[in-house]
Chains A and B, each alone.
Chain A
Amino acid sequence: MDSINGLLDGFATALTPMNLMFACIGVILGTAVGVLPGIGPAMTVALLLPITYNVEPASAFIMFAGIYYGGMYGGSTTSILLNTPGESSSVITALEGNKMAKNGRAAQALATAAIGSFVAGSIGTALIVAFAPSIAELAVKLGAPSYFAIMVLALVAVTAVLGASKLRGFISLFLGLAVGLIGIDGLTGQNRLTFGVPLLADGIDIVVVAVAIFAIGEALWVAAHLRRRPVEVIPVGRPWMGKQDWGRSWRPWLRGTAYGFPFGALPAGGAELPTFLSYVTEKKLTKHPEEFGHGAIEGVAGPEAANNASAAGTLVPMLSLGLPTNATAAVMLAAMTGYGIQPGPGLFASNGDLVWALIASLFIGNALLLLLNLPLAPLWARLLRTPRPYLYAGILFFASLGAYAVNLQWFDLFLLLVFGLLGLLMRRFGLPVLPLIIGVILGPRLEIQLRQALQLADGSWGTLFSEPVAVVAYLVIAVLFLMPLLQRLFRRTPKET
Chain B
Amino acid sequence: MTIVVAYTPDPAGSAALDLAVREARIRGEKLIVVNATKGEALVDARFASSGDLGQVDAQLSGLEHEIKQPVGVDVAELVLDEVRESGASLLVVGLRHRSPVGKLIMGSVSQRLLLDAPVPVFAVPAGRHTAS
Q: Is B41 in contact with chain A by the CB < 8 A criterion?
A: yes
- Indicate with 1 or 0, residue by residue over B3-46, a CB within 8 angstroms of chain A CB atoms: 00000000000000000000000000000000001111111110
Least CB separation from B49: chain A residue: A232
Q: Which residue of the partner chain, among B47, B50, B72, contacts A230 with CB atoms under 8 Å?
A: B47
Q: Which residue of chain A lies nearest to B44 when distances are taken between CB atoms in the complex?
A: A230
Answer whether A227 and B42 are a contact pair too, CB < 8 Å, given A232-B49, A232-B50. no
What 0/1 pattern do residues 87 to 106 of A give for CB contact below 8 A with B? 00000000000000000000
Residues of B within 8 A of A230 (CB): 37, 39, 41-44, 47
Query: What's the least CB distance linking B129 to chain A, in Å?
Result: 25
| Interface of chain A residues 48 through 100 with chain B (CB within 8 A) | 82, 84
Taking CB atoms, residues of chain B closer than 8 Å to A82 are 42-43
B40 touches A387 (CB 8 A): yes
Which residues of A from 1 to 56 have beta carbons under 8 Å from B?
Answer: 36-37
Residues 46-62 of B contacting A (Cβ, < 8 Å)? 47, 49-50
Tally chain B residues at the interface, Cβ within 8 Å. 16
* A452-490 to B contact mask, C-beta < 8 Å, 1/0: 000000000000000000000000000000000000000
A229 B50 Cβ-Cβ under 8 A: no
Let me know if A384 and B43 touch, CB within 8 A. yes
Distance in Å from the Cβ of B37 to the closest Cβ of chain A?
A: 6
Which residues on the A side are within 8 Å of B50 (C-beta)? Answer: 232
Can you list 5 pairs linking A and B with CB atoms under 8 Å apart?
A229-B37, A229-B39, A232-B43, A385-B42, A388-B40
> Which A351-402 residues have a C-beta within 8 angstroms of B?
381, 384-389
Does residue B71 face the partner (Cβ distance < 8 Å to A)? yes
Verify if B69 is at the interface (C-beta below 8 Å from A): yes
A residues 212-243 near B (Cβ < 8 Å) are: 226-233
A228 B71 Cβ-Cβ under 8 A: yes
Q: If the complex has contacts A228-B71, A232-B50, are A389 and B40 also in contact, measured as CB distance less than 8 A?
A: yes
Task: Knowing that A226-B40, A230-B43, A388-B42 touch, tell me 14 more A-B residue pairs with CB under 8 angstroms.
Answer: A82-B42, A82-B43, A84-B42, A226-B39, A227-B72, A229-B47, A230-B44, A230-B47, A231-B42, A385-B41, A385-B42, A385-B45, A387-B41, A388-B41
B38 touches A385 (CB 8 A): no
B69-A385 in contact (CB<8A): no
Residues from chain A with a CB closer than 8 A to the CB of B40 are 226-227, 387-389
Q: How many interface contacts (CB-CB < 8 Å) are there between A and B?
A: 51
Please provide the 4 A-B residue pairs with the shortest distance between their CB atoms, ordered closest to farther.
A227-B39, A230-B44, A387-B40, A384-B43
Interface of A is mostly: loop
Q: Flag if A386 contacts B71 (CB, 8 Å).
A: no
Question: A37 — which chain B residues lie within 8 A by C-beta?
Answer: 42
A386 touches B41 (CB 8 A): yes
Residue on B nearest A38 in the bound complex, by CB = B42
Please, which residues of chain B bring their CB within 8 A of the CB of A36? 42
Residues from chain A with Cβ under 8 Å of B42 in the complex: 36-37, 82, 84, 230-231, 384-386, 388
Q: By CB atoms of chain A within 10 A, which of B41, B45, B71 has the most?
A: B41
B45 contact set on A, CB distance < 8 A: 385
A230 to B41, CA, bound (A): 7
Per-residue CB proximity of A423-448 to B under 8 Å, as 1/0?
A: 00000000000000000000000000
**Which residue of A has the minimal Cβ distance to B46?**
A230
Nearest chain A CB to B107 CB, angstrom units? 14
The residue among B40, B45, B50 with the most chain A CB atoms within 10 A of its own CB is B40
Complex Cα gap A50–B37 (Å)? 37
Q: Which residues of A contact B37 (CB under 8 A)?
A: 229-230
Assuming the A-B contacts A232-B49, A232-B50, A387-B38, are A227 and B71 also in contact, with contact meaning beta carbons closer than 8 angstroms in the complex? yes
Which chain B residues lie closer than 8 Å to A231 at the CB level?
A: 42-43
Tell me the residues in window 184-206 of chain A with beta carbons closer than 8 Å to chain B beta carbons.
Answer: none
| Complex CA–CA separation, A182 to B45 (angstroms) | 49
Shortest beta-carbon distance from B53 to chain A in Å: 11
Per-residue CB proximity of A227-265 to B under 8 Å, as 1/0?
111111100000000000000000000000000000000
